[in-house]
Amino acid sequence: MNKADKKKPARCIAVFGTGSDVGKSVVTTGLCRHFAEQGLKVAPYKAQNMSNNSGVTPEGLEMGRAQIIQAEAAGVVPSVLMNPVLLKPTGETGSQVVLMGKVDGDESAAAYHKKKERYFNIAAEALDRLREENDLVIMEGAGSCAEVNLMAGDIVNFRMADYADADVILVADIHRGGVFGQVVGTLACLPDHYAERVKGVVINRFRGDISLFQDGCDWIEDKCGKPVLGVLPWYRDFHIGSEDSVVIEQPQGRSSLTGTKPAGAVIRLPFISNFTDFEPLMQRDEIELCYLDRPCDLSEFAFLIIPGSKNTRKDLAWLKETGWDARIKDFSRKGGHVAGICGGYQILGEKIEDPQGVEGAAGTEDGLGLLPVATVMKAPKTTTLSRFTYKGIEGSGYEIHMGTTSRHGGESLVEVLERNSLPAGDNDGCRAPSGTVMGTYMHGIFDTPAIVDSWLAEIGIAVAPSKTAGGLDARLEAYGRLAEHTRTHLAMDPINAMAKGEA
């Protein structure tokens, strides 16, 4: 190919927010699906993601789950190029750094900041490769794009938009209130050359009659000189996976239950990870599910789940310090069903050894003793896409964990058929002799409706066989509906013009 024939780098559209959890991920997902349906080869991209909600690529590399969702919506294979830097918080001021899908080490916030140039260069190189391989890249920002104290070292928002020469869509959340202040304040905090990149504003999560907000749109356009590209109403008729645990930071607990259906609870651990494991249960009509952060009477619950954890030993210590351990053991002793996923599986065992200090100071902690298993923390991290069977029902999921767990009683929970496209032929997890306690490393075990049907029946909750699609089929249907929702409520002509470089 001569120089004249060389393909131009793909255009980039950046979706930035006035704050965290304003809907950047969902807007990005909707645009990925929309442009894919227009016949473009689209890739999502987030230079740096901070989340304990991660997933695995077909090569067995780790990346943010939001970008996996966006890749699915775009109809492309997830790649760590789409999320080159992933920070997984392990405490208030430190994170595990996953770089291009592999653990690069643990860093304090201060130490990470000193290495920002290295991370920016790696992220920029990943973006360059995406732009060579695709027709369009939809970039997602992080948090607020106008944090003035962080802007100089920010590698996710406007510095990366400048690098990519991207047009920016600013998303604001009307549901949380103060939407006018969100938009005006954000734009006022930006240097002129950044503010000029903002081509329009999207108002997200509107409830009620949208026509009544026209005066608000007019005011924003007059005050800011930026067009309002549309107002996205709240949707309830389909579901898109959540970006991060910000959606469960203030669990309503039992107050969210109606009391008319069998109920289950998930303990909201301080370092909870991969909470999206339980979204399929939240969507089941036969049951109710809530998150609990404070110890309480569990007698009204049919089942209790201990989720994954980014710092298993710290979360185990928290369970003991708060008195949760006694509540859980009492619930199990009285016949309550208890399940643990990943870190929760380790916690339900007899002990957790960490001889190398993988999760902090080296040492050994007694687990809750509800499963006849023991765990040894050690590197490297296991990251696999897996196929398995649960009571003869085939499902697919993924494994992300440090350490190995050995079983010396009970029975295995699932038979693993395949890991990262290679035959496995071994077992995972454990079911206690009582039959009421189980644990597994398999994230996504509840994504298969038939497995949920079987598990609920074991608990004693009567269910009719689910007729809804599960797993990828269900997600693809939801992405299509999100794209239509996006086209219906946004002004697509100017957004399509951005994709062509004509904005």
Question: Which residue intervals of 390-501 are DSSP H helices?
Answer: 449-459, 471-489, 492-499
CA distance 67 to 46: 7
Contacts of 132 (CB under 8 A, 6+ apart): 7, 9, 10
| 39 closest CA partner among 144, 155, 135, 137 | 135
The answer to whether 217 and 194 have CB atoms below 8 angstroms apart is no
pLDDT at residue 1 in the model: 41
Place of tokens 């996710």: 156
Give the CA count within 13 Å in the CB-facing half-sphere of 97: 20
- The residues carrying an active-site annotation are 342, 443
The per-residue pLDDT string of the chain (503 residues; one tens digit each, 9 = 90 and over) reads: 444 456 799 999 999 999 999 999 999 999 999 999 999 999 999 999 999 889 999 999 999 999 999 999 999 999 999 999 999 988 777 899 999 999 999 898 889 888 999 999 999 999 999 999 999 999 999 999 999 998 988 999 999 999 999 999 999 999 999 999 999 999 999 999 999 999 999 999 999 999 999 999 999 999 999 999 999 999 888 888 776 555 566 677 777 888 899 999 999 999 999 999 999 998 898 999 999 999 999 999 999 999 999 999 999 999 999 999 999 999 999 999 999 999 999 999 999 999 998 888 899 999 999 999 999 999 899 999 999 999 999 999 999 999 999 999 999 999 999 999 999 999 999 999 999 999 999 999 999 999 999 999 999 998 887 777 677 888 899 999 999 999 999 999 999 999 998 87
Helix (H), strand (E), coil (C) string for 330-390: HHHHCCCEEEEECHHHHHHCCEEEECCCCCCCCEEEECCCCCCEEEECCCCCEEEEEEEEE
Place of tokens 């994504």: 447
pLDDT at residue 248 in the model: 65
CB atoms closer than 10 angstroms to residue 133: 15
**Which tokens go with 220?**
């924003």
Strand partners, 11: 136
CA distance 369 to 276: 26
Angle between helices 65-74 and 471-489 (to 10 degrees): 80
pLDDT at residue 6 in the model: 64
CA distance 36 to 26: 15
Strand partners, 431: 411, 438
For the CA atoms of 183, 188, 190, 192, the dihedral, rounded to the nearest 10 degrees, stands at: 120
The answer to whether 158 and 197 have CB atoms below 8 angstroms apart is yes
Helix (H), strand (E), coil (C) string for 115-160: CHHHHHHHHHHHHHHHHHHCCEEEEEEEEECCCCCCHHHCCCCHHH
pLDDT at residue 344 in the model: 98
CA distance 139 to 155: 12
Q: What is the DSSP string of 50-119?
A: E-S-EEE-TTS-EEEHHHHHHHHHHTS---GGGS-EEEEE-SSSEEEEEETTEEEEEEEHHHHHHTHHHH
The answer to whether 28 and 12 have CB atoms below 8 angstroms apart is no
Rg, the chain, Cα only: 23
Q: How much is the pTM?
A: 0.89
**Which tokens go with 54?**
């991660």
Place of tokens 């040894």: 376
pLDDT at residue 249 in the model: 65
Q: Phi and psi of 281, rounded to 5°?
A: -70, -35
